[in-house]
Structure 1
Amino acid sequence: MDLPIVVGVDGSEPSLRAVDWAADEAALRGAPLRLVYASLWERYEGESLAEDLGKPSEQVRAADIVRVAAERARLRQPGVGISTDVLPEEPEYALVHEGHRACALVLGSRGRSGFVDMLLGSVGLTVAAHADCPVIVVRPGGDNRVRADARGRVTVGVGEQGEDSAALRFAAREVQLRHATLDAVRAWRCPSHETTDHPLLAGEPARLHEQHAVEVLDRALKGTPAEIDLHRRTVEGPARKVLLHASREADLVVVGARRNPGHLGLQLGRVSHALLHHSACAVAVVPEQA
């Protein structure tokens, strides 16, 4: 059975844009789409209390939210199989748990109640930091279509994992689905303590660091499918700034996030954190084993 693409919905416009993006992705992958609303409404509101007050319960509202989202997805991609669920659970727990049986989780950039709030809240960050499948955050202002006729570019930040990089494999798959270009970027920096004022030596430390970046990039891309339109480059500067700049010309930016089993804290580095908050396009955070 094909694993679904799971979308966290809460009725907000950003979450509905995430539904659009996920429906397109599901159509390309030939995967089912699962729409999930999670809230602890049972803890704070019993159905009988809501009925006594003459107001619709949160359960009814949640059912309406997933129904509207499902109708939107069906209109956008009629051929995609769609399922929905309302879960009386903590949103963080629900989505991370859903990730155990999903090919990807898709979230909006901000949620109405903090459910998928990547800009100000902690729920989306927690999911991106702990899910064991790729987490895609649909940023505001983008085209929100999985297609190659906008910019036709998927950018991947290349780390130290080499050919074993899950992020690079995910990016290569996205490029093949979209018939797009793979923009593989390795950022590098020359530490300030290695610079010198001597005119004959001033360029040597920088050259060595740049050469190392080229070697890392070459090793990582060694197994990239030959049919992929590949653009490789090394750029001097902090990785988060380099990739944020690259996001302006991309449809999707892909980065890896190391997973350390048993570690309870947020497992996101500065690069992933910066992209989730400020990228100009959708961001995919792909778990990498430490």
Structure 2
Amino acid sequence: MDLPIVVGVDGSEPSLHAVDWAADEAAWRGAPLRLVHASLWERYEGAALAQDLEKPSEQVTAEDIVRTAAQRARLRQTGIKISTDVTPEEPEYALVREGRNAAAAVLGTRGRSGLVEMLLGSVSLTVAARADCPVIVVRGSDDDKTGAGTHGRVVVGVGDTGPDSAALRFAIQEARLRGATLDAVRAWRCPAHETTDHPTLAGEPARLHEQQAAGILEKALEDTPAEVELSRRTVEGPARRVLLAASREADLLVVGARRNPRQLGLQLGRVAHAVLHHCACAVAVVPERV
């Protein structure tokens, strides 16, 4: 059975952009699309969906939300199989559970209860830090180009897990599905205690660290399929800063997040946390088992 692409919907503009992305993802993969609305609130609080339905905000129901989202998905991608679910529980719990049997979960940056100026909603952050499947957090746009591949680039941050990296495998798959270039980036830094004031030796530690980064990158990419157009880059600097800069000309940024089943709480990592809040494009957080 094909695992579905799960998308959380609540009627907000960010969640509708997530529906667009998820519909494209389902069509590219030939996978079913599952729309999930989970909330303990009985009343919708938002203007955009209410206007579309020509109803007062307080009369918009959960069934209206998922029905409108399903219609939007069908208009965007005809022929995909769509299922819906409405459940009266906290959305982060429902979406983490749905992610146990999903190819990926897709969310907007924030839901209808979030402040306009928030960088990332608590639901998206919690699901990205706990889900068993890759979680894609979509940045919305007003020009209906969400998920359209305007840059033709998928960026992946290459860590120390090598070719066994789940994040790298996911990025390769996304690049192949989109016909996009895979931009593999390895950040490196020269520790301060290894620098020297001697003019003939000043560049030696940095050169060695750069060579080491290039070797790690080459090793990780050795099994990349030939049909995937590949770009390799080693960049000096903190990984967060390097990846955020790369995201400005990308359609998707893929990062890994190490997960230890023996540990409780959010397991996201500083790099994933930073790019989720500040990235210029959609972010996929892929669990890496330790």
1:131–1:58 CA distance, 2 compared to 1 (3 A): farther
1:7–1:58 CA distance, 2 compared to 1 (3 A): farther
> What whole-Å deviation, never above 9, does each CA across 1:185-212 have from its counterpart, x for those lacking one?
0000011111111101111111111111
Tell me which residue corresponds to 2:274. 274
Percent identity for Structure 1 against Structure 2: 77
Tell me which residue corresponds to 2:207. 207
Q: Is the 8 A contact 1:136 1:285 kept in 2?
A: yes
Q: Is the 8 A contact 1:118 1:124 kept in 2?
A: no
Tell me which residue corresponds to 2:159. 159
> CA shift at 1:169, angstroms?
0.5
Tell me the C-alpha RMSD between the 2 structures.
2.1
SS at match of 1:197: coil
State which drifts further: 214-223 or 120-129.
Answer: 120-129
SS at match of 1:288: strand
Tell me which residue corresponds to 1:23. 23
> What whole-Å deviation, never above 9, does each CA across 1:203-257 have from its counterpart, x for those lacking one?
1111111111011101100111122110001000010110100001111000001
Flag structure 1 segments of 5+ consecutive residues without an equivalent: 43-55
Q: Distance in 1 between matches of 2:164 and 2:59?
A: 44
Determine if the alignment matches structure 1 residue 285 to structure 2 residue 288: no
> CA shift at 1:179, angstroms?
0.8
Paired amino acid for 2:249: E
Q: Distance in 2 between matches of 1:6 and 1:267?
A: 21
> CA shift at 1:263, angstroms?
1.2
State which drifts further: 56-65 or 243-252.
Answer: 56-65
Tell me which residue corresponds to 2:78. 78
Q: Which residues of 2 match residues 39-118 of structure 1 at below 5 A?
A: 39-41=39-41, 61-114=61-114
1:118–1:157 CA distance, 2 compared to 1 (3 A): farther
TM-score, length-normalised on structure 2? 0.90
TM-score, length-normalised on structure 1? 0.90
Tell me which residue corresponds to 1:126. 126
> CA shift at 1:173, angstroms?
0.6
1:157–1:82 CA distance, 2 compared to 1 (3 A): same
Flag structure 2 segments of 5+ consecutive residues without an equivalent: 43-55
SS at match of 1:2: coil
Count of residue pairs brought into register by the alignment: 275
Q: Distance in 2 between matches of 1:124 and 1:193?
A: 39
